[in-house]
Chains A and B, each alone.
Chain A
Amino acid sequence: MTDSRPVLTMTGISKSFPGVRALHDVNFRLFPGEVHALMGENGAGKSTLIKVLTGVYDTDAGATTLDGEPVSFTGPMQATAAGVSTVFQEVNLCTNLSVAENIFIGREPRVFGAVRWGEVRRRARALLARLDLDLDVSAPLGSYSLAIQQMVAIARAIDIKARVLILDEPTSSLDASEVAQLFRIMRQLRDEGIAILFVTHFLDQVYEISDRITVLRNGGLVGEYLTTELPQLSLVEKMIGKELDVLEGIEEHSRRDLATLEEGTPLVAVSGFGRAGAVEPFSLTIHAGEVVGLAGLLGSGRTEVARLLFGADRTDGGQVAIDGAASSLRTPAQAIDHGVGFCSENRRAEGIVADLSVRENMILAMQAARGWLRPIPRRRQDELVDKYVKALNIRPADPEVPVRNLSGGNQQKVLLARWLITEPRLLILDEPTRGIDIGAKTEIQRLVTQLSDGGMAVLFISAELEEVLRLSHKVAVMRDRQMVAQLANDESLDADRIMQTIASGSHREEADR
């Protein structure tokens, strides 16, 4: 399977950011013709290691060799030229350019300085054919799905006679068949002798595709293992560095009976909420202490429901009653006044203010609720922030670090804390666990349970049915921008039944009749 000589080695790599030690004395090696999974929680240092390797960051200490020669890249272009290509988590291509141009820009075949467009398209077609993709290479990239864009990014990466291909969470936005397609390509490239460094949060995928696993934790190296010799459970333990009983804890959490919960006046009851082109009119009641799961495929209208409830989008009609009294949710400010908090799925664009510190980010919503003329005393801020940094186990536990220096999972926790500080009565969590690791995921799940036990209502949106099932008292199922069913989460409800509902959407069951 592998040669005895690694194509790439990194030894003693250390890297610090202001206030954060991102990597400490990490060793890593990569053999030709293998798929090597780099595993770790958020903030473990995976992304930093990749960025150090490709020259986006320089190192504080440590050495990298490629084919035995010491190398130090000054940027992705240089790394690529040396045969180390990266496909980043978010597709980093230009959607306004054609498919062919995206593959070749920067190294187009030219004659007397003029790009030979015919040749560009011909080569692009040949390259895509190698990956079994049949695309119109002169169409703008933006006209293709994200999955296709990802494949085009890989096509761009391997064209440069790549010997090392780094795939940083390539599967996070792909569906199952697209993942299968990607894996087929990865195997093909591996068999051609390319060393593939693969980063993902999906453990199943690691076991399906990888030959070798390196685990990082808190910026340090835990170890390197052959996939066949490392059972999944031990992998998780090595990643989070503690036993797995936390997970079990939630499973055993006794779910309060839906009927008891739904006695009395609902906290929020909406009927006929909807918005043309976004989501069909729906009705939904949420009681205090209730966790309502919102299940459905990507693009089925889950986020749209959340945005309507938060007033971020305006409903076309319908009524809303809060504590039984007719009210309205027409703007986010109104929603916040009524005690609604909303953690957006798009934390980078809509939530986190990257340049502000952890403390400032957390205090934002509360300050907004108080009005800007009544600043929160610094001591009170520090108390609150300390409390939530501890409660949510935010790392690094330094409130003055700019949020941009935190990993995705920790950013998510900061965002959560921002709303928790305002002590909302209804908290809307849109994909709070997407793209974060299992440890942080568990913590967030446990937190949701605790919050609902404490009387907070939660609308929990997630693509992972297991998670929805584990946490919710009631599951509303979305399909094609319609709320097709509301199912009580009792013994009879399992992932299969939700999936059937998503698939068929025919048997409408009203749990809160």
Chain B
Amino acid sequence: MTTGTLTAGRTRFRLPRKQIPVLATLALLLVMYGIGVSQYTAFSNVQVIFNVFIDNGFLLVVAVGMTFVILTGGIDLSVGSVVAMTAMVSAALLQDGMPAALVLVIALLIGPTLGLLMGCVIHFFEIQPFIVTLAGMFFARGMCTFISGASIPITDGFWTSMSQERIGNPQGNFVSISVLIAFVVVVIAAYTLAYTRLGRNVYAIGGNPQSALLMGLPVGRTRIAVYTISGLCSAIGGILLSFYTLSGAPLIGVGMELDVIAAVVIGGTVLTGGAGYVFGTVLGVLVLGVIQTLITFDGSLNSWWTKIVIGGLLFAFILLQRLIGIRYK
């Protein structure tokens, strides 16, 4: 009797609303690529796409970490500085003659440690993530200049080989090791979010932290974990960046956190948390990369156009999310 009426209680339509932002990003990416191919013959070369990955591998890794944080409804402003600090520390330690393996371990520990600390402050003292990670950002940036006021070149054999190694096909198209590492990170992250309790808790907390707590989920532990993960991703990103530039520069990656946030949001992750995918973040990073490539191909446009276009896209995507009302009431 009542079963019929109750099942009819579904009010919203059945389209996979959650996927709409990701699909929109995918469509946008295809359109931009289409424009590129139609305008510039060289654009159709597969290497153009590979280069986008090569140039943005570190950004992708950092964005994956940011996706975790934003999915819980948080934000991590420290990522750009942590990337720079990791690169600086690596460069400085290598300059001092420390073995590469040890440098890698140390460099990869710094980011997560800072993330863990920030996560603990956010959780235990109930402080806004914005302000805590802002402090982390200043701290890490300050540490960069503390280590050295000037750029430190890296001449270590392992680093240069990682930098120059090309994995390619006989046609001469290739990617760097960094791209492979980034892909491994993406796959692990996607798996974690979709199939592990940690991942599902991330979504639950983003959906409704109060409910998550009352459902008995480890809210505190998960929250601390996402900032640690973001720190780890920033550290990996920093290593990849140092592979890419073969140096550590105190002012590199200033404002990178904002690019990363933009990429994550354009990739369809909702800033208030609870909805989004790592795959979307990959698309978001690609959108950013393809815009840059298009502007480079044009040659006559100022590189600031990249920012202008990203700004416009961000507006569009935030509005799109709002219109879809992806956060079910």
Interface residues of A (CB under 8 A from B): 75-78, 80, 86, 88, 91-97, 101, 105-106, 108, 110, 113-115, 117, 132-136, 139-145, 147-148, 151, 156, 177-178, 180-181, 184
A37 to chain B, nearest CB (A): 22
Structural contact, A145 and B196, CB atoms closer than 8 A: no
Q: In whole angstroms, what is the CA distance A184 to B1 when docked?
A: 12
Interface residues of B (CB under 8 A from A): 2-3, 5-7, 9-12, 14, 18, 191, 194-197, 200-201, 203-204, 206-208, 210-212, 214-217, 274-275, 326-329
B9 surroundings in chain A (CB, below 8 A): 144-145, 147-148
Structural contact, B11 and A92, CB atoms closer than 8 A: no
A284 to chain B, nearest CB (A): 28
Structural contact, A94 and B2, CB atoms closer than 8 A: no
Q: In whole angstroms, what is the CA distance A97 to B199 when docked?
A: 12
Structural contact, B329 and A142, CB atoms closer than 8 A: yes
A140 surroundings in chain B (CB, below 8 A): 18, 328
Greatest chain A CB density within 10 A among B14, B191, B214, B274 is at B214
Structural contact, A147 and B207, CB atoms closer than 8 A: no
B274 surroundings in chain A (CB, below 8 A): 94, 96
Q: In whole angstroms, what is the CA distance A403 to B239 when docked?
A: 52
Report which of A95, A148, A156, A177 forms a contact with B328, defined as CB distance below 8 A: A95
Contact A148-B197, Cβ < 8 Å, known A94-B204, A95-B207: no
Structural contact, B214 and A97, CB atoms closer than 8 A: no
Q: In whole angstroms, what is the CA distance A180 to B9 when docked?
A: 15
Structural contact, B215 and A105, CB atoms closer than 8 A: yes
Report which of B7, B196, B327 forms a contact with A96, defined as CB distance below 8 A: B327
Structural contact, B207 and A96, CB atoms closer than 8 A: yes
A147 surroundings in chain B (CB, below 8 A): 6, 9
16 A–B contacts, CB within 8 A, in A order: A76-B215, A77-B217, A92-B208, A93-B208, A95-B329, A96-B274, A96-B275, A105-B200, A105-B215, A105-B217, A106-B216, A108-B197, A145-B11, A147-B9, A151-B6, A181-B6
B7 surroundings in chain A (CB, below 8 A): 133-135
B212 surroundings in chain A (CB, below 8 A): 94
Greatest chain B CB density within 10 A among A78, A117, A144, A151 is at A144
Q: In whole angstroms, what is the CA distance A459 to B212 when docked?
A: 38
Structural contact, B328 and A76, CB atoms closer than 8 A: no
Q: Knowing that A76-B216, A133-B3, A147-B9 are A-B contacts, what are 9 other residue pairs whose CB atoms are under 8 Å apart, sorted by A's residue number?
A: A92-B211, A94-B204, A96-B207, A97-B203, A114-B191, A114-B195, A114-B196, A139-B10, A143-B10
B189 to chain A, nearest CB (A): 14
Structural contact, B3 and A94, CB atoms closer than 8 A: no
Structural contact, A92 and B204, CB atoms closer than 8 A: no
Contact A93-B215, Cβ < 8 Å, known A143-B12, A145-B9, A181-B2: yes
Nearest CB in chain A to that of B210: its residue: A92
B18 surroundings in chain A (CB, below 8 A): 140
Q: In whole angstroms, what is the CA distance A177 to B207 when docked?
A: 29
Greatest chain B CB density within 10 A among A76, A94, A143 is at A94
B11 to chain A, nearest CB (A): 7
Q: In whole angstroms, what is the CA distance A135 to B3 when docked?
A: 10
Q: In whole angstroms, what is the CA distance A133 to B7 when docked?
A: 7
B210 surroundings in chain A (CB, below 8 A): 92
Q: In whole angstroms, what is the CA distance A145 to B18 when docked?
A: 18
Q: In whole angstroms, what is the CA distance A92 to B217 when docked?
A: 12
B12 surroundings in chain A (CB, below 8 A): 142-143
A145 surroundings in chain B (CB, below 8 A): 6, 9-11
B216 surroundings in chain A (CB, below 8 A): 75-78, 80, 106
Contact A94-B214, Cβ < 8 Å, known A145-B9, A180-B2, A181-B2: no
A95 surroundings in chain B (CB, below 8 A): 207-208, 327-329
Contact A115-B2, Cβ < 8 Å, known A75-B216, A88-B214, A140-B328: no
Q: In whole angstroms, what is the CA distance A101 to B204 when docked?
A: 9
A142 surroundings in chain B (CB, below 8 A): 12, 327-329
Q: In whole angstroms, what is the CA distance A95 to B18 when docked?
A: 12
Q: In whole angstroms, what is the CA distance A115 to B201 when docked?
A: 12
A3 to chain B, nearest CB (A): 28
Q: In whole angstroms, what is the CA distance A96 to B2 when docked?
A: 26
Nearest CB in chain A to that of B196: its residue: A113
Q: In whole angstroms, what is the CA distance A139 to B196 when docked?
A: 20
Q: In whole angstroms, what is the CA distance A88 to B6 when docked?
A: 21
A148 surroundings in chain B (CB, below 8 A): 6, 9
Q: In whole angstroms, what is the CA distance A479 to B275 when docked?
A: 35
Q: In whole angstroms, what is the CA distance A184 to B215 when docked?
A: 24
Contact A96-B203, Cβ < 8 Å, known A88-B214, A142-B328, A177-B2: yes
Contact A96-B6, Cβ < 8 Å, known A76-B214, A113-B196, A140-B18: no
B201 surroundings in chain A (CB, below 8 A): 105-106
Nearest CB in chain A to that of B326: its residue: A96
A113 surroundings in chain B (CB, below 8 A): 195-197
